[in-house]
Amino acid sequence: MAKRKFKAESQKLLDMVINSIYSQREVFLRELISNASDAIDKIYYKALTDDSLTFDQSNYYIKLIPNKDKRTLTVVDTGIGMTKEELENNLGVIAKSGSHTFKSENEIKDGHDIIGQFGVGFYAAFMVADKVTVLTKSIDSEEGYKWVSQGSDGYTITPIDRKEVGTEIILEIKENEEEDNYDAFLEESTLKQIVKKYSDFIRYPIKMDVTESKLKEGTENEYEDIIEEQILNTMVPIWKKNKSELTDEDYKNFYQEKRYGFDQPLRHIHINVDGTVRYNAILFIPEQAPFNYYSREFEKGLELYSNGVLIMEKCADLLPDYFSFVKGMVDSEDLSLNISREMLQHDRQLKIIAKNIQKKIKQQLLSLLRDEREKYETFFKAFGQQIKFGVYSDFGQHKEELQDLLLFYSSKEKKLVTLEEYVARMPEDQKYIYYASGDSNERIEKLPQTEIVADKGYEILYFTDEIDEFAIKMLMQYQDKEFRSVSSGDLGIEADEKEEEQEETESHKELFKEMKEVLGDKVKDVRASKRLKSHPVVLAADGEISLEMEKIINSMPDDQQIKADKVLEINVDHSIFKALEAAQGNDQDKLALYTNLLYNQALLIEGLPIEDPVAFTNDMSKIMV
């Protein structure tokens, strides 16, 4: 019996299979089970076209047989088997797939598609085995055959006496190495976990004899080990079932079984598409954010299956970043897989699926907002920042997509409101959508800048997240209404008689000029305020950088020092202003003292740091003596 050489560049390619193509050794079992499922699919298809054959699904299964004593793991299937020629062609030529050829020659329908499309899957066995033996008998052959290989040195094929149609693959498992525990692949618990992870939805039963400790009959506390044959896989995936058969509880159980989260999902989305691209998906909108959601450690992505076989645990390409909170899975029959089935070729089908999923997620979020407001607010408190990041990122490319999902706290409603609700309530004379930024709603309510806007009866949106103002700057407007900060120079509010009386006189202008000289480049200007009612002083910002943005940018660890163009606004109707007028021309030192105190007071109101705390405390002391 002469040893035959592989017909490809075996050493190089087999080394790639063992060391490079697959990222985890455990996927060898996924590949062998997928091949076994293919073999049963083939006999099913043959029965459809051959009247002499009948297909009773109860006779077809896959079985795992671990043997610790012999250090072997056997994978048995009752599928179509292989002839000598098929052994030569499929196992003798690395990277040639019998399933792919079968699929090309026969148009597979009736939901029984062939999973395997590459011939390297079988060779994943050599990642865990020193020697692989294949015992097989084809339905089209009178004789059985034995294929044996220890890797890249080649293989042998010999005839054997075998009556049953089907295939047994016997893996002689490697001895443990320093970093690799091969013993695990002989453990029942490990094999069960691998099947559950990758092959739970293979349509045929995957069986194994499992040892269970059970109470001995007739005793109260005496146990014995019982060996029972168990089916390890679910077989019929929930996403292949009719939606009408499923309850909310079924979806929640699936969410828990797949360990998508410890919370309860707020909504599920069950998608069945049978068009240009065929796929099924079950998606979930979680209630709570994972502990690492807003960190670099978080990995987005959906589980991706090809015909019920897990291909990727987290396929990031299926979700845009702004919907990265969505959990779930996609199963498609039309994916272009790479050689290891672990990565996708970035093709048109994947993009179509991702686009459809994105559309469905937005529809569900809008539905949740419309029909279950309380649930949506729960969602938004957990993931609203991510929606806002989506508005801001990519230079506002997605702002139209996301603007109707935004919520902000309203000064008038005292609760979260949408931009659409805000605009619908705007009085006819209101030009802008007003907002105020701060650390909290309570702090914003006390800001002097809100006085004139609130006095007009206009609603103010409160921005308390660091991303808020950046997102709104990118959004720019909503329904043709521009956003305007209450701290901006022009509030678009017409002056009333009282305000006209506050117009700067020539003496005011001279006083403000002197105050500006005291402050130097700390402020761009000093002027009379048209926004203050009861407060003596406030800082406003001219230009694109607001005071809140200055705080946020300067708190980042990249040493950026960004300064807003600050304007010190003085309430000329306040008693403090009279003290300023009294000091002007009479006591320049006192005017400088008052000016610095008012400037620092304005900084404190804004939550900005005082530039010289020692000077500030000294100034306070001077006032007291």
| Region 160-165 average pLDDT | 94
Does 481 score more than 60 pLDDT?
A: yes
Provide the pLDDT confidence category of residue 118 given band limits of 50, 70 and 90.
very low
Nearest residue to 174 (alpha-carbon basis) of 138, 207, 108, 127? 127
The Cα–Cα gap between 17 and 94 comes to 10
- What confidence score (pLDDT) does residue 533 get? 86
| Region 35-55 average pLDDT | 86
Q: Measuring CA to CA, how many Å separate 589 from each of 506, 533, 579, 623?
A: 22, 28, 13, 12
Q: Kindly give, in sequence order, each residue whose CB lies less than 8 Å from that of residue 283, ignoring residues fewer than 6 positions away.
A: 268, 269, 271, 302, 326, 327, 328, 357, 360, 361
* Residue that the structure tokens 């009408």 belong to: 244
**H or E stretch including 64?**
strand 62-67
DSSP letter at 90 equals: I
Average per-residue pLDDT for the chain: 87
- What confidence score (pLDDT) does residue 46 get? 86
- What confidence score (pLDDT) does residue 487 get? 86
The Cα–Cα gap between 282 and 55 comes to 31
Provide the pLDDT confidence category of residue 178 given band limits of 50, 70 and 90.
confident
Q: Measuring CA to CA, how many Å separate 93 from each of 16, 122, 303, 564?
A: 15, 11, 32, 69
Does 130 score more than 90 pLDDT?
A: yes
Does 135 score more than 90 pLDDT?
A: yes
Task: Tell me the CB-side half-sphere exposure of residue 194, using CA atoms within 13 A.
Answer: 21
Does 390 score more than 70 pLDDT?
A: yes
Check the CA dihedral 565-570-576-582 and report its sign. Answer: positive
Does 111 score more than 80 pLDDT?
A: no
Nearest residue to 431 (alpha-carbon basis) of 491, 479, 500, 497? 491
**Tokens of residue 463, six digits:** 């921005």
A 10 A CB-CB count for 500 gives 9
| Region 201-211 average pLDDT | 94
Does 108 score more than 60 pLDDT?
A: no
- What confidence score (pLDDT) does residue 112 get? 44
Q: Kindly give, in sequence order, each residue whose CB lies less than 8 Å from that of residue 310, ignoring residues fewer than 6 positions away.
A: 30, 197, 198, 199, 200, 303, 304
**Tokens of residue 541, six digits:** 């910002």
- What confidence score (pLDDT) does residue 13 get? 62
Q: Measuring CA to CA, how many Å separate 416 from each of 186, 430, 435?
A: 56, 21, 13
Residue pLDDT, tens place only, 144-160: 999 999 987 788 999 99
| Region 422-451 average pLDDT | 93
